[in-house]
Amino acid sequence: MPSRLEKTLHTRFITDLNELCERLNLSKELSSSLKEATNKYSFLIPESLLDRVKINDLNDPVLKQFLPSPQELEKKEGFVRDPLSESSADENAPVDAPFPKGNSCLLQKYANRVLIISSNACAGHCRFCFRRNLHPRPLFPIPQEFSSNRNEEANNAANFREKDSSAYFDQVFRSVRINPNVNEVILSGGDPLTLSNDQLKTLLDYIKTIRTVKRVRFHSRVPILVPDRIDDDFPACEDVDPSNYGAMLVLHLVVHVNSPNEINNRVAKALLELRKRGYVLTSQTTLLKGINDTRDTLVELFEKLANCGVVPYYLHQLDRVQGAAHFETTVKKGLQLMKQISERLPGYAVPKYVREIPGRKSKVNLLAEPDADF
């Protein structure tokens, strides 16, 4: 029986390494050798991704992002459980935040923008995830009673959402409503697109009532890993009203993609569908040793994205999370790669090379600050 999340994403999850080995013709002994790493951080890959993984190839750049490794168990100096200090950031949460300190789903690391941990669910477990060691957070912040099943029973779904969820969201977003400087809400996770279409619409309907918020930005791997998620009922932007364009809520979607092999015709179709629905599409990529740390790989990736109408936005230096040291490249190599791809790509297809440093008011542009300490 498919889980609720599998129904939402239109795929099934593979959580058993034995099944993965059988499907990809890998050694049966592999599963037992990775058991301890899997216990540290669970294995999860969507079935929809397997057609982009080479059979019998442990070095496949798509597979390596999700396959556990014994190297995850090695302790490396400088690699910590919470590299962006988000747990301590909870201590700076507004006093009227809806969740207790230490378990807040709302973070305000930058001026004018609020980040919501929108879900603790993902479409796959990336082995380099900077939140891999944090305790699961609550599924934000839409109780089960606002699910599509109950809305189907309501005479008017829109009125139901407005009537039954507004008081709840008033509490969740209270600190945003009283801060006139907040003009953007960022939905992160986990992955916000693991919420159902009805939950997303409920959330967007409410955010539209906050007059100062002009933009909502989703950060998601879902359109890449599970392109069928972008179905006929997926939320669309409002129609542009030329007489009142300033009141329109603009929706941005930042797709996380690391290898050109992740982009096939189904992904291109999903990205086109998002553009038709009015989304501004950009991308973020993590620089990963053995996966995309060559000039030709990055050029191919960013050209594919540009051809799909996605503007490359960020190339991230790896966040130094415990368990992911084997993915790290040096900043020196990253700077060399940026120079090389800049010579091959048009300017709009060259992302910013950045690193996030706790306490900084913005991401650090490593072309401008190559020696920035972590």
Using one digit for the tens of pLDDT, what is the confidence trace for 277-305?
A: 999 999 999 999 999 999 999 999 999 99
Give the burial class of 183: count Cβ atoms within 10 A of its Cβ; 0-12 exposed, 13-18 middle, 19 or more buried. middle
User: Two tokens at 129?
Assistant: 């995830």
Tracing tokens 């490249």 back to the chain, one arrives at 329
Q: How high is the pLDDT of residue 168?
A: 72
Q: How high is the pLDDT of residue 361?
A: 79
Number of Cβ within a 10 Å radius of residue 309: 14
Within 8 A by CB and 6+ apart from 239, the residues are none
Q: How far is CA 198 from CA 106, 144, 158, 280, 372, in A?
A: 21, 11, 10, 21, 43
d(CA 39, CA 326): 18
H or E element in which residue 205 lies: helix 197-207
Spans of the chain, pLDDT less than 70: 88-104, 135-165, 239-247, 373-374
User: Two tokens at 242?
Assistant: 């030329």
Pairing of strands 250-256, 215-220: parallel
Q: Which domains, from first to last, does the chain contain?
A: 78-365 (3.20.20.70)
**Which one-letter amino acid corresponds to residue 122?**
C
Q: How high is the pLDDT of residue 175?
A: 84
Using one digit for the tens of pLDDT, what is the confidence trace for 222-246?
A: 999 999 999 999 999 875 555 556 6
